[in-house]
A and B are shown apart, each in its own frame.
Chain A
Amino acid sequence: MSRRDLVAGATAAAALTALPSSGARAGSAATDAPVMAKVALTVNGQRRELELDARTSLLDAAREHLHLTGSKKGCDHGQCGACTMIVDGRRINSCLTLAVMHQGSEITTIEGLGQPGNLHPMQAAFVAHDGYQCGYCTPGQICSGVAVLAEIKAGIPSHVTADLTGAMEATPAEIRERMSGNICRCGAYSNIVEAMTEVAGRQA
């Protein structure tokens, strides 16, 4: 039995124990029939056309329909950042947006940043600095990290920027504040800051 089977088994068990309460909602089940919708978007440079239940998040569209499982589902409520993707040049929580709202969007997931043998500099820096332990939050951390350095370069201020009208720098304090939407339960934060600092230096 693989780890995935174990997880699937646990989910099925949770679904079974949840039956009584969902049974209580059976009266409204008719209104829960899926409404299907079409969407065309560009994912990692490839145009993809999908027909989805309108409820499908961008994260689920990528993972379940496009089989791009690099982006991770952590909390599914925008609190942990594991699902972070770069959409039309900006990092977002892909769990908190609907795929159907992204007609024509350009989406970059961790798979689009780099691949084994052809790593993005941020991926290579995370490896070099041990910017992870279990790795579950890492795709989100790396997508966020790439976007954070672009935000600093674009002069977007943060909560810790002393002078709102001055120049922005990728200091450790700036990196920590800007990365606060990406939680790492293993606590690899200091190594993530080092990895990002190295990439920021390289870009300067």
Chain B
Amino acid sequence: MRSFTYERPSTPAEAAAAVAAKPNAKFIAGGTNLLDLMKLQIETPAHLVDVNGLNLDTVEPTPEGGLRIGALVRNTDLAADARVRRDYGVLSRALLAGASGQLRNKATTAGNLLQRTRCPYFYDTAQACNKRQPGSGCPALDGVSRQLAVIGGSDACIATHPGDMAVAMRVLDATVETVDAAGAARKIPVAEFHRLPGDTPEADTTLRPGELITAVTLPKPVAGTHIYRKVRDRASYAYALVSVAAILGKDGRGHVAFGGVAPRPWRVEAAEADLPKGAKAVTDRVFAGAKPTEDNAYKLKLAERTLTAALTQARA
């Protein structure tokens, strides 16, 4: 790990200013992803701004009937929150499907959104990777791509967003709230939070330098069966090959987003009108234009079957 200086400010505006003031500075919250990457020298910040003292760790009702989740609310606490369990079950289920108990105790709401890809080429510093080292190339395109994106990727990068929480946030139409170094607040719909790679895969999100996430807000609850169905190589503590976050009525009507298939949670709202016709009608539209590799073409069929299972569960 490269050496760094460290500070622990006490307000969000101070924290944003601290990161903006120094080159190569980063926020650290739970640290479960950042420290892992720092040990591998994939991330090499020269300055760490510890945001754990910012008092952004409560879940509160909003005037609109939704919830405002502080950036530092730990994954365990969010999954266990009585209101989330009752009204936003898809979010609770998605969180509990991710990582391990130890990691969920540390990992934060904001940090979960900001976690980086688990593409094996991103992690292997002996390999080229456009996301890790812009312009160096993408060996995944012709390499081992079983876990990687089938849609939304580019000729520069086919990495996936690896998380579960964000897929649930996407189907819930969550909004990310931020503050910048000048103290200005901004609201970013979660649909616009993660970028597609295009020619600049090094930037995972639409956050600006020094911009700090302060909260994620959920609109008022949506009725229906809340489902998070995750398919992976083992039953626990593994990343999704394909996941489905859905809120469905008994007639099949509702909303659905897919994880494990793209650089960001993948949702095509227009396709949701076809949910009563069955999974294939929906996935044909959601994955129109998909460019799978030979290794990961299975994900298209798997997405259809996982949605079929979710629809069956909702009708039961």
Residues of A within 8 A of B (CB): 28, 31-35, 37, 53-55, 57, 76-78, 81, 84, 90-93, 96-98, 100-101, 103, 144, 147-148, 151, 154-159, 161, 164-165, 176-182
Contacts and interface: CB of A to CB of B under 8 A. Distances in A.
16 contacts: A35-B3, A35-B4, A35-B6, A54-B48, A55-B1, A77-B36, A78-B102, A93-B102, A93-B106, A96-B32, A98-B6, A144-B102, A154-B80, A157-B85, A180-B236, A181-B103
B236 A159 contact: yes
A6 to B, nearest CB: 24
Contact of B31 (A32, A37, A101, A144): A101
B100 A37 contact: no
Closest 9 CB pairs of A and B: A181-B100, A180-B236, A180-B237, A164-B85, A90-B105, A159-B96, A156-B80, A93-B102, A54-B6
Interface in B101-123: 101-103, 105-106
A161 B228 CA distance: 13
Contacts of A159: 93, 96-97, 236
A33 B4 CA distance: 9
B102 A97 contact: no
Contacts of A53: 3
A97 B31 contact: yes
A98 B93 CA distance: 29
Contacts of B103: 78, 93, 96, 181
Interface of B: 1-6, 8, 28, 31-32, 35-36, 39, 46, 48, 50, 52, 76, 79-80, 82, 85-86, 89, 92-93, 96-97, 99-103, 105-106, 235-237
Given A57-B35, A78-B32, A178-B101, A96 B3 contact: no
A128 to B, nearest CB: 24
A54 B39 contact: no
Contacts of B8: 103
B101 A147 contact: yes
Contacts of A81: 100, 102
Given A155-B80, A165-B85, A33 B102 contact: no
B78 to A, nearest CB: 11
A78 B105 contact: no
A78 B36 contact: yes
A159 B82 CA distance: 16
Contacts of A179: 101
Given A55-B4, A164-B85, 20 more contacts: A31-B3, A32-B3, A33-B3, A35-B5, A77-B39, A92-B105, A93-B102, A96-B103, A97-B35, A98-B31, A100-B6, A101-B31, A151-B101, A158-B101, A159-B96, A164-B86, A164-B92, A177-B235, A179-B101, A181-B99
